[in-house]
Amino acid sequence: MSKTTAVRAAGETLTQRQVVTVMVGLMLGMFLASLDQTIVSTSIYTIANDLDGLSLQAWATTAYLITSTVSTPLYGKLSDIFGRRPLYLTAIVIFLAGSLYAGSVHSMTELAIARGVQGLGAGGLLALALTIIGDIVSLKDRAKFQGYFMSVFGISSVLGPVVGGAFAGSANILGFDGWRWVFFINLPIGLAALAVVFLFLHLPAKHVKQKIDYWGAAAITLAIVPLLLVAEQGRSWGFASLNSFLCYGLGVVGIVWFLLAEKRAGDYALIPLRLFRNVTFGLSSLLNFIIGIGMFGAIAMLPMYLQLVKGLTPTEAGLMMITFTVGILFGSITAGRTISASGTFRIFPIMGTAILTTAALVMGLSLGVDTGLWVPGLIAVFFGMGLGFCMQPLTLAMQVSVPAKDMGVGTSSAAFFRSMGGAVGTAVFISMLFNLAASRIADGMKSAMSNADYLAVLKDPAVAADPANAKLYEFFKNGASDDSLNDTSWLHSANSVLTRPITEGFAQSIDAVMLTAAVLTGIAFLISFALPKQKLTDPKLAKEPVAAH
């Protein structure tokens, strides 16, 4: 087998060793950015208690989500103008500065600001890694390499809760509070990525004289920030509250402004509207959005089921999700190698969305209080496989459906729409879960009260006097509501007979959420048939040679 070579702008080549070395640095960067999307989920309760800011905990997640999503298309466009290397190095430095600040904070307000800084760097790490591979590797080998990147993305997203739970569970590590290492762990990994990229990634200097679409950047910020805020905060505000309607209005204004700004900007637009005239680009963007909803919805719902219904700890639930990474690894690498060999990509989104829909349906119909742990473990394998079949081919399709000069925009758009879908999916599904749970638990408790055996346990003086049941009896007194379900830490230490209606209510609600996810992925399955039946071709090889700048 001949050595893999990578094509550079001016006809230069990188050897296989150089490509692999650069890949290591890029993978480390992507690992950090995707890890930090989920690492705080299992540690935020500990962090918020330590910083006396439990009511502000959601902002630490929201700040990262907003800045990483908004900055993703900005990095793509700026890298097309100024070059990938300086933008990628800048993203790593910003991310490291945010991580250092986050590990050193003394209030939740400071943490929210620090997470926002982290997100500004993460947007570049997620978007530019795949773009750089698109620059330095020919299409024949690109699918294979990007398959490895998608595997890293999936693995780190799932490992996040495990790592976060482990650090938060340690009182002190090397003289610092255990939870601070959730952020400090980024420093050695990030510095290694910075060193590798700085030393080994030498792309030709690039500075294309072009206007920067500041109005488009401002408009997309106005469009996204309010909608992400209402998706994250809507459950506490109320989706029909004044705050929510204000966010809806601002979001709509931002979307209209963005479309007008992009139309006026033409070729120098942040996301040029002409790209959507390409059927592959437009459909892949839509599919990435829907699949993002499914991916982060599953990553949120499976641990919820394992913790709320089955009583696993955050760390145990995270370890169970390793089966999810097995599926993503298999799907991404299989799709990458097959596309590298054949150039055919359309079959994978079709197969992937079919597998996702089936997995979501099975999950929605089979998960109950008494279901064996092997069932969600097996479902997670297929969920991961479906995502692996979708993410890598759709990113590649968006890359090659745009002109070579728009490579950064094409790749960052894939990450942008998937990230937007993830933000919407996580927020809406969790809100849906707790809204449904309140009514399902209330119905279950009402039914249980007519059961003589249940009443006998409820009225047993020994059960009522047990301190482990104190919060349970308080729950009975207040009734099931969003507020009373905010803290369920007592659920699996209380009497299992009395908590049965609560765990059943959560299981039924998770089932309903996953059936909703199955409808969405089913729509994506139908859309995927509209993708063109064509082999991917490298636009850099297809275009006529041009003189070097």
Residue type, 382: F
> What is the model's pTM?
0.77
Cα dihedral across residues 378, 380, 383, 387: positive or negative: negative
Of 181, 233, 149, 151, give the one whose Cα is nearest residue 39. Answer: 181
E strand map for 130-178: 172-173, 176-177
Would you state the pLDDT for residue 204?
Answer: 61
The residues that bridge with 173 in the sheet, in sequence order, are 176
DSSP 284-314: HHHHHHHHHHHHHHHHHHHHHIIIIIT---H
Q: Give the integer Cα–Cα distance in Å for 92 and 118.
A: 9
292/55 Cα distance (integer angstroms)? 28
Distance of CA 254 to the CA centre of its chain: 23
Burial 17-28 (b: 16+ CB within 10 A, else e): ebbebbbebbbb
Structure tokens that stand for 534 in this block: 């064509």
Question: Of 349, 419, 313, 431, which Cα lies nearest the Cα of 75?
Answer: 419
Range 268-305 burial, b when 16+ CB lie within 10 A, else e: bbbbbebbeebebbebbbbbbbbbbbbbbbbbbbbbbb
Six token digits for residue 497: 């007979």
Picking from 157, 165, 144, 187, the residue whose alpha carbon sits closest to that of residue 335 is 144
Judged by phi (left if over 0) then psi (alpha if -120 to 50, else beta), residue 401 lies in alpha
Rounded Cα distance between 183 and 90, Å, is 19
Please name the residue that has the structure tokens 């907003």: 66
Contact residues for 362 (Cβ-Cβ < 8 A; gap 6+): 379
The whole-angstrom separation of Cα 212 and Cα 78 is 8
Say what the pLDDT of residue 4 is.
45
Q: Which residues have a Cβ under 8 Å from the Cβ of 323 and sit 6 or more positions away? A: 377, 378, 380, 381, 384
Structure confidence by residue, pLDDT tens digits, 439-477: 888 888 888 888 888 888 888 888 888 888 777 777 777
Amino acid, single-letter form, for residue 107:
S
Give the residue among 295, 294, 282, 388 at the shortest CA–CA distance from 339: 388
Give the pLDDT score at 500.
Answer: 86
Half-sphere exposure (Cβ direction) of 106: Cα atoms closer than 13 Å? 0
Q: Where are the alpha helices (DSSP H) in 485-528?
A: 496-528
CA 75, CA 65: separation in Å to the nearest integer? 16
How far, in Å, CA of 526 to CA of 169, rounded? Answer: 44
Q: What is the arithmetic mean of pLDDT over 212-238?
A: 78
pLDDT band at 45 (very low <50, low <70, confident <90, very high): low
Bridge partners (DSSP) of residue 176 are: 173
| Residues forming a β-bridge with 177 | 172
Cα 150 to Cα 325, 329, 385, 399: the distances in Å are 11, 8, 12, 15
Q: Is the dihedral of CA 418, 424, 427, 428 positive or negative?
A: negative
Q: Give the pLDDT confidence score for residue 38 in this predicted structure.
A: 73
pLDDT at 253: 94
Is residue 175's pLDDT more than 90? no
Does domain 1-207 correspond to CATH entry 3.30.420.40?
no
Higher pLDDT among residues 547 and 258, named by residue? 258
Mean per-residue pLDDT, 431-446:
83
CA distance linking residue 279 with residue 282, whole number of Å:
5
The residue type found at 303 is P
What 3-state DSSP class applies to 466? coil
Length in residues, the chain: 549
Quick: pLDDT tens for 387-406.
889 887 888 888 778 887 77
Write down the CATH number for the domain with range 299-408+440-549. 1.20.1250
Q: What's the confidence (pLDDT) of residue 98?
A: 95
Same fold? 1-207, 299-408+440-549: yes
Position 476 scores a pLDDT of: 76
Domain definitions of the chain by residue range: 1-207, 299-408+440-549
Write the pLDDT tens digit of every residue in 6-40.
444 434 466 777 778 888 888 888 888 878 877 87
pLDDT tens readout for residues 52-98: 765 566 677 778 877 888 888 888 888 888 888 889 999 999 999 99
Q: Are 214 and 184 in contact (CB under 8 A)?
A: no
The tokens describing 249, both together, are 């209005």
Backbone angles phi, psi at 77, to 5 degrees: -70, -45
Higher-confidence position of 510 and 266: 510
Residue with tokens 């394992």: 306
Residue 304 CB contacts under 8 Å (≥ 6 apart), including other chains: 430, 433, 506, 510
pLDDT for 547 beyond 70: no
Predicted confidence (pLDDT) at residue 176 exceeds the cutoff of 80: yes
Binning pLDDT at 50, 70 and 90, where does residue 342 land? confident
Given this model, what pLDDT does residue 3 score? 44
DSSP helix/strand/coil, 338: helix
Evaluate if residue 231 carries a pLDDT over 80.
no
Instruction: Give the number of other CB atoms < 10 A from CB of residue 371.
Output: 14
Q: What 3-state DSSP class applies to 535?
A: strand
Q: Is 180 exposed, middle or buried (0-12, 13-18, 19+ CB in 10 A)?
A: buried
What is the secondary structure of 66-93 as a DSSP string? Answer: HHHHHHHHHHHHHHHHH-HHHHHHHHHH
